[in-house]
Structure 1
Amino acid sequence: MTTVAQALQEAAALGVDRFDAQLLLAEVLGLGEREARAWLRAHDTDLLDEPQRQRFRALLQRRRAGEPVAYLLGRKEFHGLMLQVGPDVLVPRPDTEVLVDWALEVLKGWSAPRVLDLGTGSGAIALALARGRPDADVTVVDLSPRALQVALSNATRLGLALRGLQGSWWQALPGGEAPFDLVVSNPPYIAEDDPHLADLAHEPRLALTSGPDGLDAIRAIIAGAAPHLRAGAWLLLEHGHDQADAVQALLRQAGFEAVDSRCDLAGHRRCTGGAWPAHRPAASESRSA
């Protein structure tokens, strides 16, 4: 028989981070994440039965092979929402909450705003915005039908309304679509030959890489934005830690104003955005705020 303490020692011997091991053991034992660490310390002599021991060891081997803990648990918390995740979508990162907070600032003062999330993945950004602004009309787009299904399933489970469209960026929108007040995106932005991709081998490559410099998707989003934005609308983008200057330049070249960047938790400029000029309405008929 194996005690709780011995199971965690086994995880340490395999090189698995202690916090990760505690989360995995809590999952095996049916504990909630918030009380797991205190419970495990108080019950370190409790015994695991054989099925629990075998399941824990299997999870440790998968974690040792680099599979994200969120995939092993099947869930990840983001901006106060517990999202179901899996290998069809990226694991939501805390740094992306910066984009959500900025978007909620932009939406202050707007009544019933129309919001679009391009490349939604698990739906993390869109769902956080839908919860923060219950009056918003939120549309999500993803090229992957399986990723889109994850987002819509999360919406249903959380009781939040999303409209889902499958396709590539702006091409997914039907003809005659009304312009948006806010467009957000956490698109792929890693260069195709980036050595750090090896650490992300379990996450969908489609959602990670975008051309030789990582900016192909961002270029496409910015270049196609104007017909889909009402006057005064904002476009906010997440990008790599060293791409802010390039993204700012692309936005300015496309005619955006008030271009700025926001820093992530490590102090890197992680999100960049701009406003479509109020004196240059989008191609679609603008609507009143």
Structure 2
Amino acid sequence: MPDYAAESIQSLLSNAAATLSTTSETAMLDAEVLLCHCLDKSRSFLRAWPEHRLSPQQIAQFQLLVERRSQGVPVAYLTGQREFWSRNFKVSPDVLIPRPDTELLIELSLSLLPTDRPCKIIDLGTGSGIIAITLAAERPLAQVIACDLSSAALEVARYNAQQINTDNIRFLHSNWFDNIQETGFDLVLSNPPYIADYDPHLHEGDLRFEPSSALISAENGLQDIRQLAQQARQHLKDHGQLLVEHGYNQQTGVQAIFNEFGYQQVNTFADLSGNPRVTSGIWKPV
């Protein structure tokens, strides 16, 4: 590691980016985000004051963060936060790191949910709460339930709900619908584990540090989606909708599951990269 003592913002960033260039494809961006975290400033401050010098404490903190990032630790876990749908959410190694692909779930949900009357939503496997809390904030008349099997994840989600001032949301400890008695949901949605345990991506990048219980599912990554689709039928209202995020190569498998359990108008929607990412279905009881 280079010696950061008595260096300006410009030289600190240059040295840190060089250090991270062998382990990160976004070395300069990583360095800037970490330095902003140490300074509690925006990236515009870095550009406006390139000759600004840090205190010894700030330099030591930055050096430690750069070292940990060089070991592969995700930036979001180092800063303890990540933006999603223009809001900052607390994250920790107990939850998945929010990703832009998941904003497709929000877009689709908002297109289905009324703005002028109450509705009922449940987010299964809520993690940090980004989906449930965002929908609760965007649809204040909605009644939102968020559940997760991980108590540590629920603690993070509750903190985020408090910070974002969403009081129309409840958090429950449950493995999918196991502890859920309520029915009549307008919308059931989830970003469940959907990666197969043999997928090589699990040994690359940020996935190495994220909770495996939120990533890996049996049956080629489809076991949890199957369980969700099967159980949701008992909790959706007539013409309620199920929305599930899944892997880019799972469209056929997920649609087959939805069709097997009797969902109607099954459709798959692509993310910003053009990959099939979310499948929806309408429940019409026979």
1:227 and 2:237 matched: no
Report whether the alignment pairs 1:20 with 2:30: yes
RMSD of aligned alpha carbons: 1.3
CA displacement, residues 81-132 of structure 1 (integer Å, 9 cap, x when unaligned): 2111111100111110001110111113783111000000010011111111
Q: Counterparts of 1:29 and 1:186 in 2: how far apart (Å)?
A: 34
Quote how far apart the aligned CAs of 1:178 are. Answer: 2.8
Alignment partner of 1:79 out of 82, 85, 89: 85
Matches within 5 A, 1:52-201: 52-108=58-114, 111-161=117-167, 162-174=169-181, 177-199=182-204, 200-201=207-208
The residue type paired with residue 31 of structure 1 is: K
Question: Which residue identity does 2:272 align to in structure 1?
Answer: L
User: Which one of 245, 250, 271 corresponds to residue 243 of structure 1?
Assistant: 250
2:75 maps to a residue whose letter is V
Maintained 8 Å contact 2:116/2:141: no
CA distance, structure 1, for counterparts of residue 72 and residue 194 of structure 2: 21
Q: 1:285 corresponds to which residue?
A: none
Cα distance in 2 for partners of 1:271, 1:66 equals 29
Relative to structure 1, the CA distance from residue 209 to residue 110 in structure 2 (aligned partners, 3 Å threshold; closer, same or farther) is farther
- Runs ≥4 residues deviating over 2 A: 108-111
Q: 2:126 and 2:59 mapped to 1: Cα distance?
A: 37
- One-letter code of the match for 1:4? I
Q: TM-score, normalising length from structure 1?
A: 0.91
Partner amino acid for 2:154? L
Corresponding residue for 1:286? none
Q: 2:243 & 2:77 partners in 1: Cα distance?
A: 27
Q: Does 1:274 align with 2:267?
A: no
- Structure 1, unpaired ranges of 5+: 282-289
Deviates more, 1:226-235 or 1:61-70: 61-70
User: Counterpart of 1:284?
Assistant: none
Q: Which letter maps to 2:118?
A: A
Match of 1:204 among 199, 206, 211: 211
Q: TM-score, structure 2 length as denominator?
A: 0.92
Distance 1:128 1:12 in 2: 33
SS of corresponding position for 2:127: coil
Instruction: Give the whole-Å Cα distance in 2 for the aligned partners of 1:50 and 1:151.
Output: 34
Which residue of structure 1 lines up, in the alignment, with residue 24 of structure 2? none
Unaligned residue ranges in structure 2 (runs of 5+): 1-5, 22-26
Distance 2:116 2:238 in 1: 13
Conserved in 2, the CA contact under 8 Å of 1:192 and 1:212? no
Please list the CA deviations of residues 12-62 of structure 1 after superposition, one character each: whole Å capped at 9, or x if unmatched.
221251011001111111203xxx1x3212322221221111111100011
Task: State yes or no: 1:45 paired with 2:55.
Answer: no
Contact 2:148/2:154, CA 8 A, preserved across alignment: yes
Q: Say which SS state the counterpart of residue 67 (structure 1) adopts.
A: coil
